[in-house]
Amino acid sequence: MDRSWMLISDRFSQPYVDGVNSFIEFAKAHLGEAREIKCPCINCCNFYKQEYDSVKAHLLISGMIVSYTTWLEHGELPEHNNLDESNGENDEDEDEYDELIEDYQRGNFMEGDTLEREDMLHVKVENRWSNKSFDKVLEIQRRFLPEGHVVPGSIYECKKLLRDLGLGYELIDACKHDCVLFWKENAHLEKCPTCQASRYRVNDSKGKKIPHKILRYFPLTPRLRRLYMSRKTAKDMRWHSDKRVDDGVGRHPADCKEWKEFDLHYPEFAQETRNVRLGLATDGFNPFGNMSTSYSMWPVILMPYNLPPWRCMKAPFFMMSLLIAGRNQLGTDIDVYLRPLIDELKELWENGVMTYDASTEQTFRMHAAVIKIGWVGHRAYLPDNHRQRKDKKFDGLTELRKKSLDLSVEKVMAQLDQLREVKSGKDPTNKKRPRESEELN
């Protein structure tokens, strides 16, 4: 089917209107009785569902995503050699899996059979298998394999393999009052240097040393390097510079002024388009689903903004860097737990790390930076009659707040200068620190 109409700038010309009608008929034929379909206009980007008439209006007013040439979200099947299913572009690679394994070997990250082991653990988590049932499955598999096979015999062996590949995590003891981490210069201490609390709740000659609190740290660098081990993903990591259309419409973090100002301040970083721009998010939740239970978990998640919008905010590319557990909310003490990640980010910013790019079959020095883009209370900035103000899917509430005052950087810094120095850690007596008027903005 001819898709050239998608590039016509005059969206009220007859060829463009006929093309939109052909798309609507195609979707109806392939999606059956669905009343709403994903809208591929440049504003909805196949993210929001609309009724057919609304989709048609959006395409006539705003235009269609020009890269959406294979209509995957509307029932069209990709061609046999189509490796980039996200935007329908063909790739000359014919055997995806063989080349994927070859790229991993060239990058010296893993052996060819590791992909299978990683997939096995993924299936275990998705289907909520117990460790015992997972070991049983491995035992059955091993019976039917010839001698010399390398299939691990237990969940423990699988996790050990991943740790050896840099995909595990590091356990770091922490003060029970959140004062410090027992790490680097404090690694040898058995008492907190700030509050003198014991590092261990069990610590005698007979029993095992059990720390009060443990931080789980997942190193970031190996996972960033792995993004370039797949030819598909390596190409998508340059999407923000190679394929993004800069027409003044915000569809991707690269369209915002913060990204562009960052490029002006750090031209050397911006010159290498494979350098990674990261977003960071964290929030606490109760892992037991019982809000009366005094316990919280705080995952710290990183997202690579280099990827196109239909990939960078998807779960497979979310990278959990820290998992902070405890009975008390962290508050400002989260800074204590962020230290391992901050140290690694500093290393990636200042020195970088040599990385193999499977798409070019070359190595380069990869640097990384966290781009500070905030959308706190973002619905309050929408027009008063915007439909998303009434949508309760975001947090269960409608948005009635108005746009707040815009503060300049100078005013924000002047307010921060009034704050007294914050000392990490909680009072052992559980007394709350009194807050001064300057802190109540």
Q: Which residues are within 8 A (CB) of 347 and not within 5 positions of it... i.e. 6 or more apart?
A: 221, 353
Lookup: tokens for 66: 């020009």
Count up the domains in the chain and report the number: 3
What are the Cα distances from residue 34, in Å, to 20, 25, 31, 68? 18, 13, 6, 21
131 in a structural domain: yes
- Looking at the fold, whether 69 and 127 belong to one and the same domain comes out as no
Is 157 inside any structural domain? yes
Strand partners, 193: none
Residue whose pair of structure tokens reads 């790390």 in the numeric block: 353
Q: Give me the half-sphere count of Cα atoms (radius 13 Å) on the Cβ side of residue 121.
A: 18
Q: Specify whether the CB–CB gap between 217 and 340 falls below 8 A.
A: yes
* One domain, residues 369 and 251: yes
pLDDT at 88 (0 to 100): 40
| Domain co-membership, 226 together with 352 | yes
Within 10 Å of residue 343's Cβ, how many Cβ atoms?
A: 12
φ and ψ at 304, to 5 degrees?
-80, 110
Q: pTM (2 decimals)?
A: 0.61
**Alpha helices (H) along 297-437:** 309-312, 334-350, 409-417
Residue at a domain's end among 339, 374, 409: 374
Q: Is residue 438 part of a domain?
A: no
> SS3 sequence, 372-397?
CCCCCCHHHHCCCCCHHHCCCCCCCC
Is position 136 within any domain? yes
The range of the structural domain enclosing residue 335 comes to: 220-374
- Please enumerate in sequence order all residues whose Cβ is within 8 A of that of 317, keeping only pairs 6 or more positions apart, or say none: 303, 304, 307, 311
Q: Are residues 237 and 369 in the same domain?
A: yes
Neighbours of 298 (CB within 10 A): 18
Same domain, 70 and 116: no
* In a shared domain, residues 352 and 239: yes
Q: Amino acid identity, residue 67?
A: S
In a domain, 198, yes or no: no
Question: How far is 363 from 106, CA to CA, in rounded Å?
Answer: 10
CA neighbor of 331 nearest in space, from 282, 377, 383, 273: 282
Beta strands in 55-95 (DSSP E): none
In a domain, residue 428? The reply is no
| Residue 381 phi, psi (nearest 5) | -95, 0
- Does 86 reside within a domain? no
Strand pairing class (36-38; 353-357): unpaired
201 Cβ neighbours under 8 A, 6+ residues apart:
176, 210, 211, 212
Let me know: does 401 contact 389? Beta carbons within 8 Å: no
Reading the chain (441 residues) residue by residue, the pLDDT tens digits are 778 888 888 888 899 999 999 999 998 888 877 788 888 888 777 877 888 999 998 999 888 887 788 888 888 876 544 434 444 444 444 444 455 545 554 554 333 334 444 456 667 766 778 888 888 888 887 887 787 777 788 888 877 776 655 567 889 999 999 999 999 999 999 999 999 999 998 766 666 788 999 999 999 998 999 899 889 999 999 999 999 988 888 889 999 888 999 999 999 999 999 999 999 998 888 776 655 566 788 999 999 999 999 998 888 899 999 999 877 777 778 999 999 999 999 999 999 999 999 999 889 999 999 987 666 677 888 888 888 888 887 777 888 888 776 777 788 888 888 777 777 887 776 666 666 666 555
> Quick check: is 410 in a domain?
no
